Structure 1
């Protein structure tokens, strides 16, 4: 009766069916405890209760079912310790208790089970060390102890007595010490994950003896590579002719002092890795300290789907051979020192979906062939040295899918990007100019520009110190009368919303010289409110140089006198036709969105959009900017439901703009909104980028649960985070937004596992929200890690 949609409790009367040999109630909605009476079924051989809502502990009597060979209680809400009585299951072959909340020590009796071959205790709360006897279970084919709190080291001879082992998952624990060379003795091993632990030392080259190895995941450890010989394991992996999945991202933590070669010059990508022709679908070497160039041999990986080389120190040009990876879908090269032009051979990768080349030294024209890649839906070329005319078709016609800021010599493009108009005559002249005669003038010009830069920097500092109302000019100004006309006299019928420092109106701005009218949003400041003027100044200063697909775009500003002779100040933004996230999460009685709700795909996309906005603010601007008030009402949705973060009235530009990878802070009065502001803002009033991450985490939890952080219904005296933490292990579906629950319950296509995937995605989002709302600021996730995790979640959702 697997996947029959059964609900309710398991009847204790099942214990009277003494003849029964198999019970399969997996993938249903059964709740309550496992009946003690099942222990009466002495002929029972198979008990499958996975993917239900069962709670409580394993009944002691279950140990009397000595003929049981298959016991699967995974994916429930079971708790307590793993009982000693299970040691009586002398016929057991498969024991799966994973994805529950069992606690206590790792069972010490597994070696007493003569037929045990598959064991899973993954994602529980087990602690302590692995008993030495575990490594003597010669019948083991696979085991998973991932996602617990296990500690200790792996014994040197741990893998000598596991001749049948094929799968080993030890990831996401607290193991330390060395990865043992005896690993190479498990000749049948094809999957091993040791990531997210504290392993140190070098990777033993003996891994190259694993001829059947397909998956090797070592990321997120503290491994060393101080000598060329330490990288011998990479060369040895060329013997693993079936290797498909290699993850070495974040292999080397900040506190290591990695230098040297891999193996041809310390830090370079070893060409040998690209001789592993079967490697697919993912190669992840991101967040290491790799240097040198990308080898031409990368073209050998013709089944590669996803390549991560971001956040290293790689340089040189993209090899033309990369175009031979014709099934490549996602290419991440950002935050390196790559240069030159984008090779035309990339045009052969017809299925490319994501291309991120941001924060490098690429130059030249942006090639038009990128616009012909019909599958490309995200292109980030920001912060390079591209020049010339930007195409206007394909991906270039979608301003929200394209990021090109930080390339000062670009022109043309669609109006949405607000680039200067290209001068065809200038381009012709530039092509005719000889190089040598302009060298000396160019040097002189650069010298003048350098002096001008220092003067302007000094002047800017002085002007910020003496900022006055009249000095605020974010963009070209617009007159008071134009705004009054655009908003029909600031009519209440055009009122979109009211905040502490201002009201927002919808308006229609007439075009110039036959251009079409523009629908706008006008934020009119309440200058009589204390702090409103500072809010206006802060927003103008923060938005002055910002341009990102996930930030609300400022069109212009108005600093004038109204019809009564009073000061009038307003900021004009792009109008967002789908309103704010607040409207969708908590529609009011007069709101027209009552019948419209966010589905799970939209929820994940909006969460990702907001993360991209914060990542840009914190790390990719002239100076780090802290938003200080991220909440649903400040996240606006355009026609395509792309999220744009707005309202920078409380934003703070951090002083140390040059230290872009070191969290800068600034003291000030309390900022933010109760429920979204982090706890440290109320104690010591320290403002930092970590505070935005906290607000972002609350935003995630609110979107998934449908509850405001200040709701009385959350729980008596509990924060939204505490409320989620208490429910995530045992009753997660009880706290999910009912619209999302209904979406899962209405999902009938269980054949492809859609309901299961969606349920796991919801849990992953809640866990992400919890990690972002840690009490200690420094332990909260970084935007880079958040974005990476969300891409994985989005991929899992399908």
Structure 2
């Protein structure tokens, strides 16, 4: 038998052997390729970290990568085809070795904390179909070779910090279906070639800084369902072709600069629409009634436009509607509606899924229908404020059990607050301010334990404040001001530690004493108890209100001394204790409050001497009238007396010098009268004006007519005037009632006496006289600059003839002009001068937009030099304006050229961001410097003035366009100079001369079209 089958067995063995030899190279190759993938993944892991037990840090290198968390291999286990590490808290950067996973089809790294740039090698993944890197902190630009990802179906890199112009290379992705670049820093125009993406279904570019017009070619995208261009700088009208894209389900164009009328048949041409978002634009016309025929629509948003007319009928046809927002337009009530002026609210009762309803900020009038309580049980936010609604609040409103916000403020509502509002147990914000609501505040409001903001101000409420308000354990802000409330302040509402914004009970009839429990409000920022009938002592426990910034107790009957413990509230900025019966002396501790900007102690019974420290060193910010027993400190008075003596000496010397000058001019006329007599006379008169009289200035300004008033400064008013020789001048009239006016006058005269520079406002002459009331009159006469102050340009109050603002070159010229003037004052004067008050309102522009520095009322001459810093020769109090003062001045450091450099840096940042250093919108406690610092350099486009960004696309110099890319590189350098000037330590700041050179070099590079310092992006935060 064995002999019989032996040949057969031998043949089988040979076949198996041959097959194994053929398969072995394939197995060997597969193992090698998987090892390549494994090494790429290990390299990827080496650059990231995570605390998640499922992160790549748990990968076992001894096992196959196909067994690792988040790794998927093909069915043969030969290659890695998927990597999903989303939502694992990964930090670090994406390794370029990711490009070695050549069989990868899907890469999902979204919702992590990855930083760094997108590696170019990621575009080597030619088979990649799904790429999601959203919700990270990736920066840099989209790789230029992205067009190599020809198989890509989904590209989502939203919610990162990706910069650069919208890459036209993306328009080569022929198979792309979803393109989501939203919430990044992309800029420039949307290229028309994007219409080549014939397979595109979702185009999401919202929350960038894209500009220009919406390409009309987008209508070629026949499969497009989602078009989201919200929160950009797009302008012009919406192309009519967009309204004919019948496949659109979501059309979102909110927060742009779009205008024009919305077609009335938009609901017909876009039959599949579920989301229609046109908020915050400049659309005119009426609300398209055809939108109310889209029975499946979920969101209609047209708030903050210029829409007029009435709410069209048909709202009852929208059963799936979740949001209806037409707030802040010019919508009026329908007089012919069978359901009444606000009858459309009744129609909305059919929308059983409605969650958000806003009709506020319009011209609607009428009575709120009782059926408002039949609106959707899911309704969460109801905005009806700032209209002309009258009548009472229907009790049925208590049926809206899901309400978290109810705002009926600023209408003409009467009646009482319905007790049924207390049934809205989910309510977080209640706004009924600015109506004519009367009666008592119902105790039932105390049931609203989730409330964090209540505003009942500006009504006719009476009675006591309910003790039940002590149940508001989540309350952040309470405003019951301007009512007729009486009784004492309940102890219960003083025990609300969550109060961190406003506690306002002013303008009522509250009486009794202020309890010590007021000190439990440790987090509140503003307390206003003014204009009541409160009495007794001011509680010393106020020292515990550590976050307090504004404290108003004026027009009450408080008595006793001012507690010295107020000096422990370090952040206090405003304190008003006027019109009370306070006695004793002013606590010295108040002079130690460095943040205190305004102090009103007027009309009390205070006595003793006024301190000299802190805010008392500038009595223009302190009101003390009505305290006859108070006296100024002798040393302070002696200083003022010396100032008055000095000013008299200065005036006498000025008059004598003028007489001597006149004598010299007369002699010169006599000697050279046979030559150019008339021409010489004219020249000298222009160069050396004589002192002018009060009468001449009164005539020049039309008796100081308010129509000629062009501004107010720290120590007086500025008028435009025309002197007898027809020269137009700016006349600064000093307010002699302001404490320190003499010092301001002397400082300005002394600082400008011998300085001459093209970027300094020229002082022509002065006037020291008496007015028609026989009172002292002092004035300074300057050249007139017709383009106003830089502040006006930053705030948009001034525009060029074409209606535009300052472009990049013009802003750069302005800061170079300013730096040139300050450099001259610091380094080229016989005695260096420190300005002490650099800010946009003190910078004036002439007809050619040349900037000139003015207002030397706080200037100081510098006598001592120590190393690289020049400091003033004697001690001085804090000088300057809030936001521009360097931090060391607050610690008592003398004014210096380093202080001027800081102020210049803040001014530069303000000019290029459009943000004031004390802007309320800056995040948290962050100031302007910190805000720009946090964005430098990767997020700079987020902090630039939006108007400046718009002008970048159309900037032309000498007939040649300057690319936005080049402009943005220059902006990095410019803001880097600003940050270098605003370093916290004076020794760390660059001086004005170095700043000027860097700015001049940047301008040269910009105007010569030479690529600027790209290396600055990779250097430190200041760029130097």
Q: Normalising TM by the smaller chain, what interval? A: 0.5 to 0.7
CA distance, structure 2, for counterparts of residue 765 and residue 325 of structure 1: 43
Where structure 1 has 5 or more consecutive residues not aligned to the other structure, the ranges are 253-257, 259-265, 424-471, 510-520, 545-555, 570-626, 630-648, 651-667, 684-696, 704-708, 746-758, 771-798
Where structure 2 has 5 or more consecutive residues not aligned to the other structure, the ranges are 1-108, 519-528, 537-576, 641-711, 715-737, 740-777, 781-788, 792-835, 847-880, 888-897, 950-1024
Aligned to 2:216: 108
CA distance, structure 1, for counterparts of residue 359 and residue 611 of structure 2: 48
Q: 2:448 aligns with which of 349, 353, 373?
A: 349
Larger relative contact order (CA 8 Å, sep ≥ 6): 1
Q: 1:234 aligns with which of 341, 345, 348?
A: 345
**41 and 359 in structure 1: CA distance in 2 versus 1, 3 angstrom threshold:** same
Aligned: 1:411 with 2:600: no
CA contact (8 A) 2:909 2:929 kept: no
Q: 1:299 aligns with which of 398, 420, 442?
A: 398
Q: 1:70 aligns with which of 175, 178, 196?
A: 178
Q: Deviations over 1:475-520 (max 9, x none)?
A: 44645xx56xx659x9xxx855599999x9xxxx9xxxxxxxxxxx
Query: Shift of the alpha carbon at 1:299?
Result: 0.9
SS of aligned partner of 1:187 = coil
SS of aligned partner of 1:127 = strand
CA contact (8 A) 2:615 2:621 kept: no
Q: 1:559 aligns with which of 587, 605, 630?
A: 630
Q: 1:59 aligns with which of 154, 162, 167?
A: 167
CA distance, structure 2, for counterparts of residue 711 and residue 377 of structure 1: 40
CA distance, structure 1, for counterparts of residue 111 and residue 437 of structure 2: 51
- Work out which of the two has the higher radius of gyration on C-alpha atoms and give 1 or 2: 2
Aligned to 1:375: 474
Aligned: 1:359 with 2:458: yes
Aligned: 1:290 with 2:398: no
SS of aligned partner of 2:267 = coil
CA distance, structure 1, for counterparts of residue 476 and residue 448 of structure 2: 14
CA contact (8 A) 1:148 1:173 kept: yes
Q: Deviations over 1:20-41 (max 9, x none)?
A: 2122222333333322311122
Aligned to 2:414: 315
**58 and 228 in structure 1: CA distance in 2 versus 1, 3 angstrom threshold:** same
CA distance, structure 2, for counterparts of residue 700 and residue 767 of structure 1: 23
CA distance, structure 2, for counterparts of residue 338 and residue 700 of structure 1: 45
| RMSD, aligned CA | 5.1
CA distance, structure 1, for counterparts of residue 238 and residue 152 of structure 2: 30
CA distance, structure 2, for counterparts of residue 14 and residue 101 of structure 1: 26
CA distance, structure 2, for counterparts of residue 86 and residue 227 of structure 1: 47
**214 and 397 in structure 1: CA distance in 2 versus 1, 3 angstrom threshold:** closer
Aligned to 1:128: 236
Aligned: 1:337 with 2:436: yes
CA contact (8 A) 2:838 2:884 kept: no
Query: Shift of the alpha carbon at 1:320?
Result: 1.7
SS of aligned partner of 1:39 = helix
Q: Deviations over 1:445-496 (max 9, x none)?
A: xxxxxxxxxxxxxxxxxxxxxxxxxxx98544645xx56xx659x9xxx855
SS of aligned partner of 1:198 = coil
SS of aligned partner of 1:272 = helix
CA distance, structure 1, for counterparts of residue 119 and residue 900 of structure 2: 38
Query: Shift of the alpha carbon at 1:146?
Result: 0.8
Aligned to 1:324: 423
Equivalent residue runs for 1:607-622 within 5 Å:
none
Equivalent residue runs for 1:534-545 within 5 Å:
536=622, 539-540=623-624
CA distance, structure 1, for counterparts of residue 372 and residue 884 of structure 2: 39
CA distance, structure 1, for counterparts of residue 356 and residue 595 of structure 2: 52
CA distance, structure 1, for counterparts of residue 885 and residue 335 of structure 2: 46
**153 and 567 in structure 1: CA distance in 2 versus 1, 3 angstrom threshold:** same
Aligned to 1:574: none
CA contact (8 A) 1:14 1:37 kept: no
CA distance, structure 2, for counterparts of residue 239 and residue 89 of structure 1: 40
SS of aligned partner of 2:145 = helix
**280 and 76 in structure 1: CA distance in 2 versus 1, 3 angstrom threshold:** same
CA distance, structure 2, for counterparts of residue 129 and residue 103 of structure 1: 13
Aligned to 1:25: 133
CA distance, structure 2, for counterparts of residue 527 and residue 130 of structure 1: 55
Question: What count of residue pairs does the alignment treat as equivalent?
Answer: 544
SS of aligned partner of 1:119 = strand
CA distance, structure 2, for counterparts of residue 276 and residue 122 of structure 1: 29
CA contact (8 A) 2:610 2:632 kept: no
CA contact (8 A) 1:24 1:47 kept: yes
Equivalent residue runs for 1:138-287 within 5 Å:
138-225=246-333, 227=335, 229=337, 231-252=342-363, 266-287=365-386
CA contact (8 A) 1:363 1:385 kept: yes
CA distance, structure 2, for counterparts of residue 389 and residue 211 of structure 1: 50
TM-score (norm 1): 0.59
CA contact (8 A) 2:274 2:296 kept: yes
**277 and 48 in structure 1: CA distance in 2 versus 1, 3 angstrom threshold:** closer
TM-score (norm 2): 0.46
